[in-house]
Amino acid sequence: MRIAILGATSQIAGDLVLAFSGQRNHELALFVRRPETMKHWLAGAGLSNRHSVADFGAFDIDERFDAIVNFVGVGNPATAAAMGASILDVTLKYDDLAMDYLRHYPDCRYIFLSSGAAYGSNFAEPVDANTRAVIAINNLQPQDWYGVAKLYAECRHRAHPTLSIVDVRVFSYFSHTQNPSARFFITDLLHAIESGETLITSPDNIVRDYIGPDDFTRLVSLILEAPPSNKVVDCYTLAPVAKMTLLEALKEQFGLAYEVRNAPAGVNATGVKMNYYSMNREAEIFGFYPTRNSMDSILNEVRLISKRI
């Protein structure tokens, strides 16, 4: 299958490129803002000249692809906060690029990387198949822009039911290739483990569901192999994990030192979410059944990081 990957320098896209590079049935064309950075990354991964790399401007309507996977967006909370409302224009611009291609080649598949933030900011309880998106339309805040951008893209996709478009909502993702400078709660944990510093965290026992690279790759592969459809699916593992449970596990296995205080941890660019995970199992229609729970996924990836260090 010939696949165009938009935004291939993103963290989650890089993991998919690595996974697909080991599958000879896929030919990848990587489109990025900085081709030289992408080529340097490929060289470091031992994949020099394995895939074509080009600027977004080289994306040509006359070039044939079997599928497009769109990772363009913001994977770093600090960057999302800095971008503000411009995330609306960025998301629309590259979604338009893919949508225009599908209008010319309606047999092409399109996977759009969405987010759990599309549900809005009310996560007092986990979401499910019946949850409605909640947006404070009369009091929009900067932390709403990211979720609104994803929701708008999803609405555009459902408005074209004859096109093969699957939106994949990622809630939390963690990989041993994670950029340690990204301001996620999980990367703050890694920094504390590596530096020996004491992590200061709030008493809020937030719950997250961290899908890892193996299960995410499986989900994308199953969607590409399935009959064409126009749907949205949520990412999930066998079970989410509460913050305090995770902290204790990392303390026991990796020596994490932490202290609970009334102080926020990380950057909440899309708002505070107590139960940021989904009970929606719509992905089962593609034959997706996760192989790990959040705790096992995180511990496995942290072990890989420890070996690298």
Using one digit for the tens of pLDDT, what is the confidence trace for 242-293? 999 999 999 999 999 999 998 654 545 555 689 999 999 999 999 999 999 9
Query: Which whole number is the average pLDDT over 175-200?
Result: 86
pLDDT at 86 over 90: no
pLDDT at 263: 61
Q: Is residue 191 part of a domain?
A: no
189 within some domain: no
Q: How far is CA 28 from CA 52, 57, 80, 161, 251, in A?
A: 7, 17, 27, 26, 40
Q: Is residue 309 part of a domain?
A: no
Percent of the chain beyond pLDDT 90? 78
Tell me the average pLDDT across 115-130: 93
What domain range includes position 100?
2-176+210-239+278-293
CATH number, domain of 92, equals 3.40.50.720
Nearest 5°: the CA angle 163, 110, 16 is 160
Residue 195 lies in a domain: no
Q: What span, in angstroms and rounded, lies between the C-alpha atoms of 4 and 58?
A: 12
Q: How many domains does the chain have?
A: 1
- Determine, yes or no, domain membership for 199: no
CA gap 266, 180 in Å, rounded: 12
Q: Is residue 100 part of a domain?
A: yes
- Alpha-carbon Rg for the chain, nearest whole angstrom, is 19
Q: Which of 164, 165, 184 is nearest to 173 (CA)?
A: 184
Asked, for residue 303, whether it belongs to a domain, the answer is no
Cβ pair 210, 186 in contact under 8 A: yes
Mean pLDDT of 40-61: 94
Residue 146 lies in a domain: yes
